A = this chain, B = another copy of it.
Amino acid sequence: MINYHAGWALPITSPPIRHATVSVDGACIAYVGPRLGAPPGEDRDLGDAILLPGLVNAHTHLELTAMRGLLPGMPFVSWIRRLTQARSAVLTDASMRDAAAWGIAEGLTAGITTYGDTCASGVVVEALRSMGVRGIMFQEVFGPAPEQREPALASLRSRIDALRPLETDLVHLGVSPHAPYTVHEDLLVDAAAYAVGAGLPVAIHLAESDAEMAFLREGEGPFADGLRARGISVVRRAHSPVHLLVELGVVLARPLLIHCVHVDETDIAFIAEHGCPVAHCPASNAILGHGIAPVRELLDAGAVVGLGSDSMASNDRMDLLGEARFATWCQAARLHRPGALSDTEALTLATLGGARALGLERRVGSLEPGKDADLAAFGIPAAQATALADPWTAALAAAGTPAMLVTVAGRERVRDGQVVDLDAGLAARVGASAEALAAWRRSLASH
């Protein structure tokens, strides 16, 4: 038994505890409550720190971590194309595996213990395993042309078959038909049906951009133009991406809906009625110029919402407390209502919300006896320690501060802001990838 003592514990599913102890027995939480005087086992005093359940990143693309800062300020459709070109021109499975491990190292120091990852290459399963974290890797599938339906599905099946032996108690697989504008609707239905049959969760990028809305609603815009240029016919298809999933029956797979920036009242009602969870990525949505998702309305309708960092190609940090803090600011600004999304709610999205969005709420997302011991502790910067009335606010204000301690299923993964047993050569290898990507980009600019 290890007893972690801290100034505050925020169990999420029960009120904050001042002067708290969280006891861990093997991989599980055994006790959460007021500070124990002389408990059996080992004691670790975290001082004035705030102890949280490990944060859950409901959406990222770890394989793209070396692309940070590579393609700033580009229109979304051009950005996706450049990103795809860069990946095939410069990156290899080995470099993407390193990038994923490096992204997890950054996430761990930010207190993130669980990763919902959508992955084209399939390398993230290995990275999650090697870094000792929890996660679901949703294997991506692409194919906008009707004739891609069968080969893409066959390739998905064989990829999943090859990866299944790598699953562990902490690391699982899922399926991600990428998005309505990159996956033909027949393939979308087939992939979802395959996943349901195989007992795998589904995730899809949805209602993210103005271009996606124009594509589905009008059969127009840059995505439609791009497909037509490849000889693929495009028709005006649905009122919205959410309506499309309802019409196709894909909502029955209860897919994780990534983004949902462009959702109206009918979309929100469908999302709630069908119990589809949402991954909200506020920084990425802002940076890529998509806007601010109606998170307040989604929560009011009863939808399950988690927070995601998205990839480091559209964000500058993997920092889920930062996403939570930014989410509160965005909702207040959008609705002209202070506290429209409270700090308590935002931190709940970053923990239990993400766990529910990934179907892992029986294992993680809160500090409760019997749950897995995924913990994250943050020291409070001196200035804030003396002048923050509320531990929820204090936790969000710790955004960007390296975690003092992170455990996954009871195993220490971060100590004093440093990842335990980090591969010493990783930074240099990812740095070389980043340099190669930057050189590729410069070579484009010079032509």
- Give residues in A with beta carbon < 8 Å to B: 65-70, 72-76, 79, 102, 105-106, 109, 210, 283, 285-292, 312, 316-318, 325-326, 328-330, 332-340, 342-343, 382-390, 393-394, 396-397, 399-401, 427-428, 430-431, 434, 437-438, 441
Which residues of chain B come closer than 8 Å to A427, judged between CB atoms?
Answer: 382, 385-386
What residue in chain B is nearest A261 (Cβ atoms)?
Answer: B333
Contact A338 B75 (CB under 8 A): yes
Q: Which of B69, B288, B342, B434 contacts A73 (CB 8 A)?
A: B342
**A204→B442 CA distance, assembly (Å):** 46
14 additional A-B residue pairs with CB within 8 Å, beyond A283-B329, A386-B427: A67-B387, A68-B388, A69-B387, A72-B338, A72-B393, A286-B329, A286-B332, A286-B333, A291-B333, A316-B384, A316-B388, A382-B427, A389-B437, A389-B438
Contact B73 A285 (CB under 8 A): no
CB distance from A50 to the nearest CB of B (A): 13
Which residues of chain B come closer than 8 Å to A385, judged between CB atoms?
Answer: 427, 431
Contact B72 A390 (CB under 8 A): yes
**A13→B209 CA distance, assembly (Å):** 35
Contact B65 A387 (CB under 8 A): yes
With A73-B339, A325-B316, A430-B387 as given contacts, are A333 and B394 in contact (CB-CB < 8 Å)? Answer: no
Q: Which of B334, B387, B431 contacts A66 (CB 8 A)?
A: B387
What residue in chain B is nearest A99 (Cβ atoms)?
Answer: B387
CB distance from A289 to the nearest CB of B (A): 4
Contact A339 B383 (CB under 8 A): no
With A383-B102, A397-B317 as given contacts, are A333 and B388 in contact (CB-CB < 8 Å)? Answer: no
Contact B384 A210 (CB under 8 A): no
Which residues of chain B come closer than 8 Å to A325, judged between CB atoms?
Answer: 316
Which residues of chain B come closer than 8 Å to A285, judged between CB atoms?
Answer: 333
Contact B336 A290 (CB under 8 A): yes
With A72-B393, A79-B338 as given contacts, are A288 and B332 in contact (CB-CB < 8 Å)? Answer: yes
What residue in chain B is nearest A426 (Cβ atoms)?
Answer: B386
CB distance from A177 to the nearest CB of B (A): 25
CB distance from A403 to the nearest CB of B (A): 13
What residue in chain B is nearest A321 (Cβ atoms)?
Answer: B400
With A68-B387, A102-B387, A430-B387 as given contacts, are A74 and B338 in contact (CB-CB < 8 Å)? Answer: yes
Contact B434 A386 (CB under 8 A): yes
**A382→B105 CA distance, assembly (Å):** 10
CB distance from A427 to the nearest CB of B (A): 5
**A428→B393 CA distance, assembly (Å):** 20
What residue in chain B is nearest A442 (Cβ atoms)?
Answer: B389
**A437→B387 CA distance, assembly (Å):** 10
CB distance from A58 to the nearest CB of B (A): 19
CB distance from A357 to the nearest CB of B (A): 22
Contact A286 B382 (CB under 8 A): no
Contact B288 A338 (CB under 8 A): yes
What residue in chain B is nearest A334 (Cβ atoms)?
Answer: B291
With A316-B396, A329-B283, A394-B69 as given contacts, are A386 and B102 in contact (CB-CB < 8 Å)? Answer: yes
What residue in chain B is nearest A388 (Cβ atoms)?
Answer: B69
What residue in chain B is nearest A328 (Cβ atoms)?
Answer: B287
Which residues of chain B come closer than 8 Å to A396, judged between CB atoms?
Answer: 316
What residue in chain B is nearest A103 (Cβ atoms)?
Answer: B383
The 10 closest A-B pairs by CB, nearest first: A73-B339, A400-B400, A386-B431, A286-B329, A286-B333, A106-B383, A289-B338, A316-B397, A69-B389, A68-B387
**A344→B151 CA distance, assembly (Å):** 46
